[in-house]
Structure 1
Amino acid sequence: MAAKGSLSEQLGAMAIVDALRHKQMVVDEHLDLPKRRAEVAQRIREYYAASRLVVDDELIAEGVRAYFAQRLEFEPGPGEDAERDKALQYISLQRAQQRAGQGRAPGWMRWLSRLVK
């Protein structure tokens, strides 16, 4: 006897399984760093060869190593002074209201005020 269940349930579950499988493939691809480096280096060699440019393999390898070494580093954006000043003014106002007994600041505001002193 066949198991009961609707086709929509099966298709819904299969969609989730496929999405999870695809995510796992992407993760696996990015975790195999030596393979990724080799693939990128090969594409660079092919690009330069197609452009009829001679580039030393060691130079390509050095460039690929440097790229992969810095690709996950965080670089904060160029914050504007005016935005920072507004945030500081807001925090100062909230602190003044607290001191005046006008209520306690929400948790996120207390957290933010500790960051910017």
Structure 2
Amino acid sequence: MRKFIGLLICSLVLASCNLFEGTGVDFEVKNNTERTLNRVQVKTSYGSKTSIFNKVAPGKSVSGFLKINSDKDDGNYILEFEKENEEIERVINEYFSDGTAMSHKIIFEIEDDTVYFNTEHYY
């Protein structure tokens, strides 16, 4: 019984520390426009990057995890995307400090003429 309780405690500690993902933040990008978004990416002002999502169809969303382990200073998150046949748009939002995220999840909602930004905390 002691081994089971010890194993349970270890499992909870490992799961809560994001040991396998590292320090970072979950994100979601929602395309609320009538046009396809190309080359959607979330990154930090220090260059940590997520995968590039080549296409996000109208009404769809993509999500992922942005590691910020190498960013030991303060910085911002950057959403970068391209609407069909237009220049790349960059939106700078949210703040992290000493390589630690201030939120657990960042949500970007892309509209025709603006980008809304929201955060979630998992407590």
On whether the aligned pair clears a TM of 0.5, the verdict is no
When normalised by structure 1's length, the TM-score is: 0.26
Which structure features the higher share of helix residues?
A: 1
When normalised by structure 2's length, the TM-score is: 0.25
Higher CA-based Rg: 1
